[in-house]
Chain A
Amino acid sequence: MVRLPRPDQSALLKLTYRGGEGMLAWAFHRISGIAIWAFILLHVLDIWLSQVNSALYDDLLTIYASPAGRVGETLLGAALLYHALNGLRIILMDFWPRLTLYHKQIWFVSWIVFVAVGLPVAYVILKPIWGG
């Protein structure tokens, strides 16, 4: 019988992420970037479709305007806002390297802006779902 080594950490500890803020900022930047790229593929094709087959585009628009579509729209906005704010943080640190000393603080500020801008935007986009 093969003996497996005993796990040296509790399950809860394994679930916690220990990469730190810089690593998380990088991971979120990459994930949001790929998501936006995928949407750009869809979005340029749908706008192209609007000029080639307008009826089909208008059908697609009803999917975009559905409750699920609005949730997706909100997630897209969140990805875009995070990527934009963190991108600005990267640019600042690239051209003023001393700011890397405060990269955690700048990330924290970018989250404050994210929430302050993102919540009202999410409210406006999602409002029609409950008939607002």
Chain B
Amino acid sequence: MARLYSPVGRPKPAGTDRTELAIWYLMRLTGLGLFVFALSHFLITHVLSDPANQTSEWIATHRWANDLWRWVDSSMLVLVVFHSFVGVRTVLQDYVGGRIRVVLVAILALVGVVLAGLGIWAVLSAAGPMP
């Protein structure tokens, strides 16, 4: 009989904590999304072209001149900030306990929200407002 959960993945939260269960599903959903988004992003920006040529001006006037790319980049940003910050929260929960954990997770959440805000603001402010 196979084990109920993978030996490397986080066990699916049992019990009544619906938030933790939602986070468990969202980690997998955003992970799948990033498998497509982040890998294609890396392929396009680092393999099919060279970041050395992607200057500030190029980003603002070429990459983000197309609204589709601004939507793609904004969506990817939200996915990656959620996935990476919740991932680091898992690591904190494994190694830190008590009040320090509460404080660190709160700081982490704040940094994540600020980072997402800065990123979305950069995408929105470039080359005119988004539709």
- The interface of chain A, by Cβ under 8 A from chain B, is 22, 25-26, 29-30, 33-34, 36-37, 40-41, 44-45, 47-48, 50-52, 54-55, 57-58, 61-62, 64-65, 73, 77, 80-81, 84, 86-91, 93-94, 97-101, 103, 121, 124-125, 128
Q: Which residues of A contact B84 (CB under 8 A)?
A: 33, 36-37, 40
A80 to B51, Cβ gap below 8 A? no
Contact among B2, B46, B60 with A125 in the assembled complex (CB-CB below 8 Å): B46
Quick check: is B8 within 8 A (CB to CB) of the other chain? Answer: yes
Contact present for B7 and A100 (CB under 8 Å): yes
Contact B85 A51 (CB under 8 A): no
| Given A50-B56, A58-B55, A125-B47: A100 touches B31 (CB 8 Å cut-off) | no
* Pairs across A and B, CB under 8 Å, 30 listed: A22-B7, A22-B8, A26-B7, A26-B8, A33-B84, A33-B88, A33-B91, A41-B115, A44-B116, A47-B119, A47-B122, A51-B125, A54-B55, A55-B56, A61-B51, A61-B54, A80-B38, A84-B35, A86-B8, A88-B31, A89-B8, A90-B9, A90-B28, A91-B9, A93-B5, A93-B8, A94-B6, A94-B12, A103-B6, A128-B50
Q: A44 near B8 (CB under 8 angstroms)? A: no
Interface pair A97/B5, CB less than 8 Å apart: yes
Would A57 and B6 be within 8 Å (CB), given that A34-B91, A37-B87 are in contact? no
How many pairs of A and B residues are in contact by the CB < 8 Å rule?
Answer: 132
Q: Does B32 contact A (CB under 8 A)?
A: yes
Whether a CB of chain A sits under 8 angstroms from the CB of B52 is yes
Interface residues of B (CB under 8 A from A): 2-9, 12, 28, 31-32, 34-35, 38-39, 42-43, 46-47, 50-52, 54-57, 59-60, 77, 80-81, 84-85, 87-88, 91, 111, 115-116, 118-119, 121-122, 125-126
Q: Which residues of B contact A101 (CB under 8 A)?
A: 2
Known contacts A47-B59, A100-B2, A33 near B9 by CB under 8 Å: no
- Which residues of the partner chain A approach B7 to less than 8 Å between Cβ atoms? 22, 26, 100, 103
Question: Quick check: A51 and B126 within 8 Å, CB to CB?
Answer: yes
